[in-house]
Structure formats: C-alpha cells, structure tokens
Amino acid sequence: MSNTLLKMFTATGIGLAMSWQATAASIHGTLSFDKRAPYGALVFVPSSSQGSQRVEIDQVDKTFTTAIAVNAPGKAVVFKNSDNMDHNVYANDIRNNARFDVGLMSPGGTREVEASWQDDALIRIGCKIHPKMRAYIANINSEHFSVIEMDKTEQTYRFTLNDVPSNTRAIKVLIPGYDDLELHLDSQIAAPIDITKKSKRRGQITLTTEGLK
C-alpha cells in the first residue's frame, strides 16, 4: 500500500524547487518503450545553480524506500535501516567514481556517505547480503527534474517539468542500463527521438513545450 502511494507520488512528483527567474515555460514528454519498460527514468533540466535536495534512503521489508533518488552534488547521502534484519549499502561503479561500503547496518542503524561521485550519472546502490535490493542515486545540478518509476505493466509514461526558465535549451534523460540522452529543445522538439540501450533502439521520447523563448 505504502509502496503504491510512493509510486503515485514519484510518478507525478516534479522538482518543486522554485526558480528565481521569471518563468512561465513547461516541458511535457512521453516515453514509450517497444518492450518491457526499464526500472525508471530521471528527466531534468541541467542548470548551473545547485539544487538543495538532500537524500535519505531507508530500508524496509528488504527493499530500499526510494527507487531513484536525486541528490545535490556535494551533499551527503543518509542511509537508514528500519528493517528487522541486518543490511548493508554499497556502490561499486568505478566508471563514475562511486565506491563506498557502509559495512553491516543493524536494525535502527544510520550512516552518512559523502556523495563525491560523478555528476549526472545514475549510481546503482545495493545490499551485499540481499542482491535483489537496488536503488539509484544521481548527483545533479538541477531545480527542475522528474523521477519516473516504471513497472512491468505499462510501456508508456508521461512527465511534466513546470516553471522551467523560458530560455531552457536542453533536458537530460537518464535510465539505468540505457544510453544517456541529452535533448536539445530547439532542434529535436518536433520528431520523436529514439531511446537506446547499447545503441539499439528500445523506445521513443516525444516532447512538447509551452512558453519557451
């Protein structure tokens, strides 16, 4: 139940942090997959100013409570264990310079990790004891983002980024296991763009915008 609620939240949830710019633009997108949809996606407007998101990820019923967490670069990430058994949290993503291991976490435990890894990348975290457990954390400089959790039943997902600066030129799309996408809003806006995994097409993304200058 709480899981469904969580999904509803994140599916419609958007980066609510308000920007100081006088903004009126919004970006709408549809992601559709040819086969089974992936784990989820993170869509964001890259920005030079830092967001303020602070990530806290808990562990309950042998699952991480957040599927894809968005962290502001430089902020530490907090891990908790509210489960009734021992867990661990680790990452071993050498390409993105993310290697940490909090050791054994007993029920009630809390650990803080310096999130000093590569920006704009989805870092997979896991539990060494329970290989089924996974979640992703991305360090991004952005005030406008949307996390889309996906599941096996749907192949099409929509998102909206509201109140983006009217001079926004690009958005990025990160999907675990897929090739990163950077979409330039001026040139690519009309036609659908391929979403690829190891360079093979796996779906398409279509964008519409309002109020962009």
Partner 1 sequence: MNAVFRLIGTTVAIALCLATMVSYAGSYPLPDATDIEYPDDEAPSQRQIELGKALFFDPRLSENNNRPCSSCHNPDLGFGDGLKLSEGANGAPLDRHTPSLYNLAWGSAFMWDGRAMSLEEQVMMPIVAKKEMNLQALEMRNRLIEVPFYRREFIAVFGDPVLSKDSVASALAAYVRSLQVTDTPFDRYIKGDKHALSAEAKRGFELFKGKANCTKCHDGAHFTDDSFRSLGIDGDDPGRGAVIGDASLNHTFKTPGLRNVSLSAPYMHDGSLESLEAVIRFYNEGGGPAKHKDKLVTKLQLSNSEIADLVAFLGSLTQLEAHARPAQP
Q: How many Å separate Cα 117 from the centre of its chain?
A: 15
Contact 30, 157 (CB under 8 A): yes
Provide the 3-class DSSP secondary structure of residue 90. Answer: strand
Q: Which of 131, 186, 190, 213 binds partner 1 (CB under 8 A)?
A: 131
**E strand or H helix that includes residue 10:** helix 2-12
Residues in the interface with partner 1 (CB under 8 A) total 18
* Residue 202: count of CB within 10 angstroms of its CB: 19
**What is the footprint of partner 1 within residues 143-172 (CB under 8 A)?**
152-153
Q: In which residue are the tokens 């954390």 written? A: 137
CA atoms of 203 and 211, how far apart (whole Å): 27
Q: How far is the CB of 118 from partner 1 (least distance, A)?
A: 22
198 or 213: CB nearest partner 1: 198
101 or 112: CB nearest partner 1: 101
CA atoms of 178 and 155, how far apart (whole Å): 15
Q: Does residue 35 belong to the site contacting partner 1 (CB under 8 A)?
A: yes
Pairing of strands 87-93, 98-105: antiparallel
Q: Which of 7, 75, 128, 158 binds partner 1 (CB under 8 A)?
A: 128
Q: Does residue 75 belong to the site contacting partner 1 (CB under 8 A)?
A: no
6-14, 16-24, 74-82, 128-136 -> range binding partner 1 (CB under 8 A): 128-136
Q: Which of 7, 75, 130, 158 binds partner 1 (CB under 8 A)?
A: 130
Q: How far is the CB of 91 from partner 1 (least distance, A)?
A: 13
CA atoms of 31 and 170, how far apart (whole Å): 16
Q: How far is the CB of 125 from partner 1 (least distance, A)?
A: 14
| Residue type (1 letter), 210 | E
Note the residues at the interface with partner 1 (CB under 8 A): 33, 35-36, 38, 62, 85-86, 101, 103-104, 128-132, 152-153, 202
